[in-house]
Amino acid sequence: MQAVTPVTIIGGYLGCGKTTLVNHLLRNANGARLAVLVNDFGELPIDADLIEAQDGDVISLSGGCVCCSFGDDLSRSLKTLRALDSLPDHIFIEASGVALPGAIGNSLSLLRGYQLEGVVVLVDATSVQAASVQKYIGDTIDRQLNDADLLVLNKMDLLNDSQAIELRQWICEYYAHAPLVEAVYSKIDPAILLNIKTGRNSRDASNQADYTHDISSMYSSISLRMDQQVDVPILAERLSDKGCGLVRAKGFVMDYDNSIKTIQVVGRRWSVTNAPAGVETGLVCIATSSELTEEKLRSFCNIEVTKQDAAKLQCGYFD
């Protein structure tokens, strides 16, 4: 059976911080083999110390990562990646500043071997409100934000308290569909987008103390034991509900037919697939609120759902 590679699309208007986020992820991959696809190498200045070699449209990066230029033919570049000796663990497609990330995500459905995990859209906190009403770019920004499964409000350090409150209110009024993560210099916990743990061995060692402090104050991680059988699609859908307060969840859960399923949640997007053989059940959930506890999470998701209640819940839970 052909392996399925997870794909995350990173979108956002010009200058929002996509390049900085990609370099941050590459520096904190902790052994994960990442592939980054860009329209043009000139649009994504990968940090020089990460580059090992270049051969045509492919740049070899440290740690087994690669960067590919796809120009106008994304499908060709994705097929090229499938031909590599070692498949990447995760692919990031860095959309151009004027591209619609949702349209890129739709194109993935035509290709075998790839699964869209989420559309992450970065927002320039200093300019997005003004730009959204400009004649020639406002519609593009609006469509990018509406495409998001997860919104990252970047450059929040450049706003004063009242400006930050106004921005959050504006986002919640017009783009309440997607969970929010706030960031400075595009630094978010890589575990939100990758199934990895960050630590002292990351290549960003010079900034590790500040980075760890920032992350610990912004996120909380909750591990759930999942010994019981549940209706897995219902659980995944509930975990993706914005009211749940999660930005990321991943793990393995046993369905009612005794098969173990993989749950992936990034923002509002969720998927359920067959789990690899030999895995242990359990979920790891990442929230932006330290007030979210295991008890609250279990209560919101009604994880102790019985088989008899499953049909009823499926019909009415999200009315």
Three-state DSSP string of the chain: CCCCEEEEEEECCCCCCHHHHHHHHHHCCCCCCEEEEECCHHHCCCCHHHEEEEECCEEEEHHHCEEEECCCCHHHHHHHHHCCCCCCCEEEEECCCCCCHHHHHHHHCCCCCEEEEEEEEEEECCCHHHHCCCCCCHHHHHHHHHHCCEEEEECHHHCCHHHHHHHHHHHHHHCCCCCEEECCCCCCCHHHCCCCCCCCCCCCHHHHHHHHHHHHHHCEEEEECCCCECCHHHHHHHHHCHHHCEEEEEEEEECCCCCEEEEEEECCEEEEEECCCCCCCEEEEEECCCCCCHHHHHHHHCCCCCHHHHHHHHHHCCC
Instruction: Tell me what pLDDT residue 195 has.
Output: 63
Read off the tokens for 145. 């934000």
pTM of structure: 0.81
pLDDT of residue 2: 59
Nearest CA to 260 out of 248, 247, 272 is that of 272
Q: What is the CATH number of domain 220-316?
A: 3.30.1220.10
Taking residue 117's Cβ as centre, other Cβ atoms within 10 Å add up to 27
- Residues of the chain with pLDDT below 50 are 1, 196-216, 305-319
pLDDT at 43: 55
5-218 folds as Rossmann fold (3.40.50)
Q: 310 phi and psi, to 5 degrees?
A: -60, -45
pLDDT for the residue numbered 295: 83
Note the pLDDT tens digit of each residue in 256-306.
898 999 999 999 899 999 988 888 999 988 887 667 788 888 888 776 644
Q: Give the C-alpha separation, 142 to 248, whole Å.
A: 24
Domain boundaries of the chain, sorted by first residue: 5-218, 220-316
| Burial letters 14-47, b for 16+ CB under 10 A, else e | eebbbbbbbbbbbbbbbebbbbbbbbeeeebebb
The predicted pLDDT at position 41 comes to: 59
Query: How far is Cα 262 from Cα 228, in angstroms, rounded to an integer?
Result: 15
* pLDDT value, residue 260: 93
